[in-house]
Structure 1
Amino acid sequence: MATIALVVGLIIGIGAGWVAKPAEVTTAPGATATTTVTTTKTVTAPAAGGLSGEVKIGWVDGLTGGNAFWGEAAKTAADVALNEVNQYLKDTSAGWTMSIVYEDSETKPDVALEKLKSLHARGITIVSGWGTSADLRACISYSNSNKILLLAYGSNAADLAIPNDYTYRLMPTTKIEGKCFARIVYDLGVKYLVPMWRGDTFGDSMMNYVRQYCSALGITVDDGVRYDPNATEFSSEAAAFASRINNAISTYGADKVGAYIHCFEEGKAIFASLKAYNATNWGVHWVGVGGLVLTDWALETDTADIIANKGVYGCLIPTPNAKLYNVQAQIKAKLGREADIYGLNGYDAVWMLALALNSAKSYDSDAVKAQLPWVANNYTGVTGWSPFDEAGDRQGSNYGLFQIVGSAGAYKWAQVGIWDFSIDTITWWPEPKIM
């Protein structure tokens, strides 16, 4: 059985087009070397009898609201993966199929918890999605109390890195992301940073590390402007931010000032409000990590007029591979655009849960939970190979550095460099590469 469990896991990866990292052990976690069938369930051993029929996993995410841009991409990528999973299960006569029950949190933590409880009431105890840390935070206690396995594609607030809970996450934490941001700011020669950020779990966690890492590099961080992520109008926040920027410019000079707006899709309204304060001509460095990076809406004039050719933004990038290009083509055909790392994580989340379910041979959250670290350690998906750390979060990876540039009469995203997380060093490219 141990040998069969290992071979099945690897065959699934190969059948889907993957190249699996060679296992460092010869048995899958939880497997035994006996053919004796028992009726006892344990956390480390799959239940006898296997899976059959339709196996449902849940999906709770902001498909509307501030996370809509990323939620839409992750859902589209998840559907691509689901088709592949079910084709494989059919081809191998596995005896079961997977389906996904999608629920929209509206990017509101209280709604996210309601949706999770609704899924639980229907017997669904394995749930992916979770594009924001705020949504996830609202649900962790309930999931732990009720043994509901959560696999998040987007959440990365460092204070949610809790060992031995029922949550796994496919993004490195803000502890890694904050270090990338500080290195960008330092390399650009910024001496004074003025931030404006979402007042939620993700935003506050990010700002904690931004302040810590910038201070260590000799960069002063202004008190900044913390805003309500549920707001739709930002005139007062824009006025406060503009005032702080102008004060910094008068003291340090524009070329030594960094303007940092840490936002989701509400950033459109924020940048529109800033145009009233002549933000286009401030001459400061616009900087950031995540959020607006590679979004279509940032290419619209209200935002692009302000940050084009003056902003540098970091975003986790996948390792290039043939499977990535194939999946991106399918996503673009369905969505009209390619997915960034968050959307691609949605694809990997579905495959990882399918592999863990197949290895556990049971719809039991404890049994599937026990298999996930093994799957992560032996699976190379569209976002590359990256096992979980001791808290069940993805280990670090490199970040691409991006900028909006004018090209052929239009604004486009271009990659201008890369941050190597292993040595905390940026390599700037001699010429921008249009995306």
Structure 2
Amino acid sequence: MRKKIWVLILIAFFATAFIAGCGTGEDGAADGDETHTIVGLYPLTGVLSTFGENSAEVAKLAAEDVNAWLESEGKAWQLRLEIDDTQTEGPVGLRKMQSWYGEGVKFFAGPMGSGVAQEMLSFANSNQIFYISPSSTSPALGIADDWLYRFCTDDSIQGPAIALAAQAADVESMIFCWRGDTWGDGLQGAAEATAIELGMTVYPEKLRYDPIKEDFTSEAALLDEYVTDLVNQGVPLEKIGFNLISFEEAAPFIAEAAKYDQLHEIAWIGSDGTAYSEAILQHPVASEFAAETKFINPMNRPAELSEQSNFDHVRDHIQEKLGRETDAYSYNTYDTIWAFALAFDEVGYDPVAVRDVLPEVIDEWSQVYGASGNIVLNEYGDRAFADYNYWILDENLEWVNPGYYDGATQTINWEWEIY
């Protein structure tokens, strides 16, 4: 009888060990699978959904390409990519990161907005979770030795691109309006500082709005009042510039502004948050107004490309999948997935080791294959250099690129004059 009891105990022990061995590994994959997991946290809904859709599709493409490469090289592991929706909201993004971390995931591609990236930062730093944003540009998030890297430059470079566009439009007085979050505050400050350096006056009343706002009736009315005040001070309409720093809530804002005749006569300048905006393009009033006013938007310009760059590969994929031109930050997303994968292949699924080798790994790989060109990171883990393309809607309501801002020389190179 005693012998029978011991046999039953041993059977139970080995059964338990077998079940545990088939459970979830430290990177969220089954132990039996040699798999490393990245979660793409993108705004599939909310006011950055156009950008989120692009990056989600590009991340899937990159993961497929990585796995094809791993197979061709006879590597002993595979990449697992999961996509989740931040809804363009910080608390949602943080909850998603916490949930996936609970399943063993230590690496994230995204988020896109600086407000969401900031919400995640403390948790990521406390738990050594490595995440790379393709598009977070707030200067406030340029922090040494943190766990957020960014494959775009911060807005200390985009700010001058905005102000130079206003100068090209012969603006003398600038009015600012922006979403009141980490990204908006940082970009507005950089744009205003450069505008002042260039000799423009900045209207003292400013329109800083709640990021969850959807109705802009009062803001459009106030803008009209500010323009009237400047005209009464002797500033001609054509010398007044308006900088709208927003995401896709720009569409209802512009639709409200279109109700005021004189707002059709001032210069409108946007930002990377509204370049390629599908919300503006699909809005019958906002699109016509944007085309009429030459609403100009700077957007990160891919660096010089090698013949083997994946730029066309990414661009053609989005054209086929979504039927539109993709945004510049989606090329950063493609390179992000490869950066993680190449680092995993070199040092394994270890955040400390990956963070140590990643700058060198992505610099070397991106010189030849980078969809966004060569990626050199600064001491904060952010992209060190970039130029900015300008995007406007033409008379056919298509986004076109009339020129770009050269960050090194701080000048605009026009393909054709728009002012």
What TM bracket, shorter-length normalisation?
0.7 to 0.9
Bigger relative contact order, structure 1 or 2 (CA pairs below 8 A, ≥6 apart): 1
- Residues 200-349 of structure 1 correspond to what in structure 2 (within 5 A)? 200-222=181-203, 223-251=205-233, 252-278=235-261, 282-299=264-281, 300-311=283-294, 312-318=296-302, 319-320=304-305, 323-349=310-336
Equivalent-residue separation in structure 2 for 1:85 and 1:206 (angstroms): 35
Q: What is the deviation of 1:431?
A: 5.9
- Tell me the equivalent position of 2:24: none
Deviations along 1:188-221, one digit per CA (max 9) or x if unpaired, are: 2111111111111100111111121111111122
State whether structure 2 residue 154 is matched by structure 1 residue 173. Answer: yes
Q: Deviations over 1:288-322 (max 9, x none)?
A: 22111122332343123223253222111224555
Q: Of 102, 109, 128, which residue of structure 2 is paired with 1:128? A: 109
Instruction: Report the Cα offset of residue 428 of structure 1.
Output: 2.1
- One-letter code aligned to 1:340: D
Residue 430 of structure 1 aligns with which residue? Answer: 416
In the alignment, is the contact (CA less than 8 A) between 2:404 and 2:412 conserved in 1?
A: yes
* Superposed CA offset, 1:60-116 (max 9, x none): 222111111101101111111111000011111111111112221111111111111
**1:375-394 CA distance string (max 9 Å, x none):** 23212211111200111100
Per the alignment, residue 389 of structure 1 pairs with: 378
Q: 2:13 matched to which residue of 1?
A: none
CA distance in 1 between counterparts of 2:372 and 2:122 reads 29
Provide the C-alpha distance between the structure 2 equivalents of 1:377 and 1:206, rounded to a whole number of angstroms: 27
Normalised by the size of structure 1, how large is the TM-score?
0.83
Distance in 2, matches of 1:208 and 1:430, equals 29
Instruction: Look up the SS of the partner of 1:379 in the other structure.
Output: helix
Deviations 1:233-273 (CA, angstroms, capped at 9, x unpaired)? 11112211222123223431111110111111111111122
Partner of residue 401 from structure 2, selected from 385, 409, 415 = 415
2:394 maps to 1:405: yes
Q: Which runs of 5+ in 1 are unaligned?
A: 1-50
Give the fraction of aligned pairs with identical amino acids, expressed as a percent.
28
Contact 2:376–2:385 (CA under 8 A) maintained in structure 1: no
Q: If the length of structure 2 is used for normalisation, what is the TM-score?
A: 0.86
Q: In structure 2, what is the equivalent of residue 48 of structure 1?
A: none
What SS class does the counterpart of residue 430 from structure 1 fall into?
Answer: coil
CA distance in 1, matches of 2:313, 2:141: 33
What secondary structure is seen at the aligned counterpart in 2 of 1:289?
coil
Query: Which one of 339, 342, 350 corresponds to residue 364 of structure 1?
Result: 350
Cα shift at 1:187: 2.3
Question: Residue 58 of structure 1 aligns to a residue in which SS?
Answer: strand
Equivalent residue for 1:199?
180
Q: Cα RMSD over matched residues?
A: 1.7
- 2-structure distance, mates of 1:359, 1:308: 49
- Residues 174-189 of structure 1: matches in 2 within 5 Å? 174-189=155-170
Query: Matches of 2:67 and 2:108 in 1, distance apart?
Result: 18
The Cα shift of 1:148 comes to 0.4
Alignment partners' CA distance in 1, 2:417 and 2:354? 46
Shift of 1:183: 1.4
For residue 56 of structure 2, what is the amino acid of its counterpart?
K
Deviations along 1:102-153, one digit per CA (max 9) or x if unpaired, are 2211111111111111011001011111100000000111101101001111
Question: 1:53 aligns to what?
Answer: 34
Post-superposition offset of 1:401: 1.9
How far is 1:52 from its partner?
6.3
Distance 1:86 1:182 in 2: 43
Structure 1 residue 58, shift from structure 2 partner: 1.6
CA contact (8 A) 2:252 2:286 kept: no
Q: Work out which of the two has the higher radius of gyration on C-alpha atoms and give 1 or 2.
A: 2
1:351 aligns with 2:338: yes
Unmatched 5+ stretches in structure 2: 1-31
Structure 1 CA distance for aligned equivalents of residues 260 and 34 of structure 2: 60
Runs (4+) of structure 1 moved beyond 3 Å? 319-322
2:363 maps to amino acid: N
**Distance (Å, rounded) in 2 between the aligned partners of 1:186 and 1:154:** 26
Any conservation in 1 of the 2:244–2:270 contact (CA below 8 Å)? Answer: yes
C-alpha deviations, 1:364-418, integer Å up to 9, x for none? 1101111111123212211111200111100121111222221xxx312222122
State the distance in 1 between where 2:314 and 2:299 align: 19
